[in-house]
Chains A and B, each alone.
Chain A
């Protein structure tokens, strides 16, 4: 019946959350079928698999849906635990990893988003907060090349996209969020992650992503000025 159906991933080319899950699957060498959503027209499958949030990504493993990208990555790490472990073994290190992934989502992302959607003085305030949060994220590296230590792990794939995203936002609103002088270790880390061939291979085309977000920004600021 549903068992043995393998792995499917419902995603969207520009979604950073779907990207994280793809990175996890590819690093672990797990084969999967990718289903691209035609946003904003959400498919019946997506709505059926994630009725609570109606969002992607959703992983469907042997017919059973798992939602929320960080939870999907933990699920994948537990099911395929022998292949390229993403979370460390030690409970204390695992707690730190979960903490930083959560911090990225709960603090870095909203601040960068708020910088993107606001203007004037408010935007300056949000940009400052975003920079502070990125600086705090940098401290989580504890001087290592990756959050995972010598190799890319859970936090690296959870947080790397915020570096990409913050640069895009910075370019669109003309505020430097990821500052090489202020955050040298974070910048080196980001470069290190994005240089990995598996990571690089999954990235959506840079120009396309920039234009996609410019479009959003025009819509947001256009609406604000009417």
Chain B
């Protein structure tokens, strides 16, 4: 029986992009269901009652949610074009960096978008400190996965889209090619990968969206 795969996503969700990338890198076919988060579909609420969020992957009727959990599921179910290394220690490292990206790096980067004046001045060095860890970890490899993109690259990938957008909207450039030569190069290489290039959301729509997120957050209550 052919696999029935559905992805619940929004046009802009960076977490959903991770799933799209993984499925396409493994050559898998799937149906996309775009959600309007202001009016969540009954199906989404049924498939993800705990968080009521996207992305959700539904495989032969069984839902999986939380993007890193979904990535592991995809990796374990379809073994072609592996995203994780074989060695358990290297796998632990890949997972560690993905977790770091989601738990520490993301918030510190978003804080730069969502603040202004003194608060923003303080947010910038925090974000850069976290980016420095990533810079060091790249260690002269083209990708975290080595010659091809892997689990950690997919986890970090959203920054290749959002950091330039954050610069456009706030004027703050977090990745300076002088101070972060490896991340700068990684971003270029990452964006050159055909599956990545083919799936970015509309730049103009994203600028409007990011601007809207910033304005909403900074609006006086």
- Which residues of A come within 8 Å of B, CB atoms? 52, 61, 64, 66-68, 71-72, 74-75, 78-79, 91-92, 94-95, 98-99, 102-103, 136
Contact (Cβ within 8 A) B100 A75: no
Given A66-B89, A95-B64, A102-B69, 16 more pairs with CB closer than 8 A: A52-B133, A61-B89, A64-B89, A71-B92, A71-B95, A71-B99, A74-B92, A75-B92, A91-B76, A94-B73, A95-B72, A98-B69, A99-B50, A99-B69, A103-B50, A136-B50
Contact (Cβ within 8 A) B88 A75: yes
CA–CA, A99 and B92, complex, Å: 17
The answer to the question of B70 belonging to the interface, with a C-beta cut-off of 8 Å to chain A, is yes
Complex A-B: 14 CB contacts under 8 Å = A52-B100, A61-B89, A66-B89, A68-B99, A75-B92, A78-B88, A91-B76, A92-B59, A92-B64, A94-B72, A95-B73, A98-B72, A102-B66, A136-B50
Choose from B65, B88, B91, B104 the contact partner of A99 (Cβ within 8 Å): B65
A71/B96 contact (C-beta < 8 A), A95-B69, A95-B70 known: yes
Residues of chain B within 8 A (CB-CB) of A91 are 73, 76-77
Residues from 63 to 86 in B contacting A, C-beta threshold 8 Å: 64-66, 69-70, 72-73, 76-77
Nearest CB on A from B63, distance (A):
9
Contact (Cβ within 8 A) B73 A79: no
Of all chain B residues, the one with the shortest Cβ separation from A96 is B64
Nearest CB on A from B72, distance (A):
6
Residues of chain B within 8 A (CB-CB) of A95 are 64, 69-70, 72-73
For the complex of A and B, 8 pairs with smallest distance between CB atoms: A91-B76, A78-B88, A95-B73, A75-B92, A95-B64, A98-B69, A91-B77, A66-B92
Q: Number of contact residues on B: which range applies? A: 20 to 34
Of all chain B residues, the one with the shortest Cβ separation from A97 is B69
Most chain A beta carbons < 10 A, residue from B69, B76, B95, B100: B69
- Which residues of B come within 8 Å of A, CB atoms? 50, 59, 62, 64-66, 69-70, 72-73, 76-77, 88-89, 91-92, 95-96, 99-100, 104, 133
Residues of chain A within 8 A (CB-CB) of B133 are 52
Nearest CB on A from B121, distance (A):
24
Residues of chain A within 8 A (CB-CB) of B62 are 92
Of all chain B residues, the one with the shortest Cβ separation from A140 is B50
CA–CA, A64 and B62, complex, Å: 37
Residues of chain B within 8 A (CB-CB) of A67 are 96
Residues of chain B within 8 A (CB-CB) of A66 are 89, 92, 96
Residues of chain A within 8 A (CB-CB) of B73 are 91-92, 94-95
Most chain B beta carbons < 10 A, residue from A67, A75, A95: A95
Residues of chain B within 8 A (CB-CB) of A74 are 92, 95
Residues of chain B within 8 A (CB-CB) of A103 are 50
Residues of chain B within 8 A (CB-CB) of A75 are 88-89, 91-92
Of all chain A residues, the one with the shortest Cβ separation from B98 is A71
CA–CA, A40 and B100, complex, Å: 23
Residues of chain B within 8 A (CB-CB) of A94 are 72-73, 76
Residues of chain A within 8 A (CB-CB) of B70 are 95
Nearest CB on A from B135, distance (A):
13
CA–CA, A94 and B62, complex, Å: 13
Nearest CB on B from A22, distance (A):
18
Residues of chain A within 8 A (CB-CB) of B59 are 92
Most chain B beta carbons < 10 A, residue from A64, A74, A78, A91: A91
Residues of chain A within 8 A (CB-CB) of B76 are 91, 94
Nearest CB on B from A216, distance (A):
23
Nearest CB on A from B138, distance (A):
14
